Amino acid sequence: MTRLAAGITLIALCVLAFLVYSNQGLRQERETLRSDNKRLAGQIEWQNKMQIAVASIEENRSRELTNAKNKTDDLQRDVDDGRRRLRLHASCSSAGPSGMADAAAARLTDAAQRDYFTLRTRIETANIQIAGLQDYIRDICLAQP
């Protein structure tokens, strides 16, 4: 019977050693998973902050773009209605004597006036887009995770 007890004890010790060894592996695996989970949670938090920053940049620049377009549209309406005039630096050469009393003031042609407003809108759009890209590079691309 003592041989049987010794055998059972030996088997129990082997099972216990196996359980301790496998338990140690599970602990290491658990610590690895916790570390990975913490790292991934940090990345998700960083990505969420970056999405909020991108949305903020887009909102601000879209508002600026809308305001610039409205300002140009208002100016064009005022010019069309005669409340404002476009100033230009021009010199008129006339075949007649200088200082004619009935000479008309220099003005842009209708096509040139339309082109002026188109160019003004495009320049404002380009400036705002460039500023938005600069914000994106500075606040998003160069931000450290």
Domain count, the chain: 1
Q: Is residue 21 part of a domain?
A: no
pLDDT digits (tens, 9 = 90+) for 25-42: 788 888 999 999 999 999
Where does the pLDDT of residue 95 fall: very low under 50, low under 70, confident under 90, or very high at 90 and above? Answer: low
Cα dihedral 87, 90, 93, 97 sign: positive
Name the pTM for this structure.
0.62
How far is residue 52's CA from residue 67's CA, in Å, rounded to a whole number? 22
User: What's the domain range around 143?
Assistant: 43-87+106-145
Q: Is residue 50 part of a domain?
A: yes
Helix (DSSP H) and strand (DSSP E) numbers for the chain: 2, 0
